Amino acid sequence: METFEHNGVAIADTFAEAFTMVGTRVIVTAVSAEWAETAGIQATGFATSVIACNAEAAIEHRLGPDQTPDGRPGVSLLIFAFNREALAQAVIDRIGQCVLTCPTTACYNGLTDGDPEKWINVGGQLRFFGDGYQGSKKLGDRRLWRVPVMDGEFLCEERLGSTKGVAGGNLLICGSTGDQALAAATAAAEAMRDVSDCILPFPGGLVRSGSKVGSQYKALKASTNDAWCPTLRAQVDSVLPETVEAVYEIVIDGLTLESVTEAMRVGLATAVGCEGVELIGAGNYGGQLGQHHIQLRDCL
């Protein structure tokens, strides 16, 4: 693997291979920031990879009362799926089971400038939980549904915007010790979360189980990325220097290619300044699967 040096750290001369997805932004509010975040965490659970989940999702930002439609604290969620139909079903399921059920919450469209023909019907489906007692109201040209629940009403916007997004931007951060690799990856993920229009869908933003396509077991779609596993260095065609003991991957999904690229740039700039980082790379499939190739050189 060819590399070049940046700030004393080896950078793989390669690219992250990302895919076109369909995404939406959901604004969830509640009586307190704690309840809004609780709903957001629940609604974006089990949403790390569409390899096995119905969506990829995470909290994008925490919002103050001056940033939400109803003047209450909230969170913005980004949710991605392979197509609009799959996205609509995932959003309806997640809001219905995790936001509608959470005390004091309300739910609004966060992509108000989206193409109306690409909107997905969410509140218009969840209203039926009201069993005929639901009602609607207009907020400008936006329709919201009022669904009676045991602590009052659940307010949910009828339609949410959707747009083409990018999923699967990534960085591979390799450290000389496990502690140093984890500290560097954690710092990079924290910096990347400040970039708007993107999320890090894996736990804490980090992936210990980076994968490759396929497996020697035919039933599996993906399996361990053995070339980047330090414990397999003597058994496989490894890309890792002898000094690397641990690798963490950071995966980025975003509403635009620019936001994903910016997150990778921020993460790379942070990681090269961390102690013990020996190599930074990116995962790809030889350019054969993903529509977007984000060169690490361009992130510098």
Tell me, yes or no, if the pTM score tops 0.75. Answer: yes
Residue 229: enclosing H or E segment and its boundaries? none
Pick the CATH number of 21-163 from 3.30.300.130, 1.10.1040.10, 3.30.70.520, 3.30.70.20: 3.30.70.520
Six-digit token pair at 24? Answer: 């939406």
Q: Over the stretch 135-145, which tens digit does the pLDDT of each residue have? A: 999 988 889 99
Class of domain 3-18+165-299: alpha beta
- Secondary structure (DSSP) of 13-78: S-EEEEEEEEEEEEEEE-SSHHHHHHHHHHHTSS-S-TTTSS-EEEEEEEE-GGGSTTSS-EEEEE
| Furthest CA-CA distance within the chain | 66
Per-residue pLDDT tens for 205-255?
A: 999 999 998 999 999 989 999 999 999 999 999 999 999 999 999 999 999
78-125 pLDDT tens trace: 999 999 999 999 999 999 999 999 999 999 999 977 677 789 999 999
Percent with pLDDT over 90 in the chain: 93
- φ/ψ region of 131 (left if φ > 0, alpha if ψ in -120 to 50, else beta) reads left
101: which residues sit within 8 A by CB, 6+ positions away? none
Question: Where do you find CATH 3.30.70.520 in the chain?
Answer: 3-18+165-299, 21-163
